[in-house]
Amino acid sequence: MIMANKESISIRVKGKVGQKNISPDLIDISDIKDLMSQVENMLFPGSKKNRAQISYKIEEGSVLNTFTTSRQEVVGFNALLADVQNQKSIDILEYKSALAFESLQMNSDTKNLTYEITTSVSEETTPFVISPKTAWKRSEETWVEAEFYVYGEITDAGGKNNSNIHVDTKDHGILTIATDKLTLKEKEENMLYRTYGVRVKGKQHLQTGEMDTKSLQLIELIDIQEKYDQDYLETLIDKATPHWKGLDADAWLGELRGDYE
């Protein structure tokens, strides 16, 4: 896919690896993969199914990571950086985006690295900095315990140590929900590739109402498959029949419809 009106986001990494100044040949592939993932979440904190293409290159100086994507996304990201700078807080961000900033801050703290973020559309000469001297972390009081209902198809279930289910939802993508092993064991029917209503508990952002998808724990699975149960239907009819005794059904329907003469 060819992108028109492309712009870029640059993340310059400064510091040392051992006794040597950091450079591209000292960067492990896992670190590059992690940075790519964090940038993707910064730009697209929601569903990534229809996101714009992002290309990448790495250069000297100390390590310059450049991500190129559509102008619209870079302009939005530039405004986001400005908001975070002005508010001096990442609490204003969507969950996955805030988590990406936190992840870079944690990496900076543990490895003594500095990240300088700039965009090709910014008029500012001073980069957005994440370093051991900064503290880009969410406020704990911003998140509260809450319950949610989600709907989707179960695509996986199990786990040797940490049991969970994977639910493919329309609004949130695939959610990983911690699940008690006994619940999975006692489920009589095969859950895979069936659609359920899922009642979960987790954390919710007080300001945005956003769900912390990493904190979800199963409360209840609700079978929403449409079934025709003749016995159940006849039971309901038997229960309702005494209440209709002596009632003129045609007249009653006429009143509901407003068929007055």
CATH classification at residue 167? 2.40.50.140
Name residue 13's amino acid. Answer: V
Backbone φ/ψ region at 184: left (φ over 0), alpha (ψ -120 to 50), beta: alpha
State the Cα angle at 85 between 83 and 90, rounded to 5°: 75
Looking at the structure, do residues 12 and 130 belong to the same domain, yes or no?
A: yes
Nearest by Cα to 68 from 39, 103, 95, 89: 39
Name the DSSP letter for residue 25: G
Which residue, 111, 138, 165, sits at the end of a domain?
Answer: 138
Residues 117 and 153 in one domain: no
pLDDT in tens, the chain (261 residues): 445 689 999 999 999 999 999 999 999 999 999 999 999 999 998 878 889 999 999 999 999 999 999 999 999 999 999 999 999 999 888 888 999 999 999 999 999 999 999 999 998 889 999 999 999 998 876 778 899 999 999 999 988 788 999 999 988 889 999 998 888 888 767 888 988 999 999 998 877 788 889 899 999 988 876 555 666 667 767 776 676 666 676 776 666 666 555
pLDDT, tens digit, for every residue of 98-152? 999 999 999 999 999 999 999 999 988 899 999 999 999 988 767 788 999 999 9
Are residues 101 and 185 located together in one domain of the fold? no
Q: Strands 20-21 and 16-17, how do they pair? A: antiparallel
Residues 176, 74: one domain?
Answer: no
pLDDT on residue 1:
44
User: What range does the domain containing 64 cover?
Assistant: 6-138
Q: Domain check: are 131 and 30 in the same one?
A: yes
83 and 65 belong to one structural domain? yes
Domain boundary among 138, 156, 188: 138
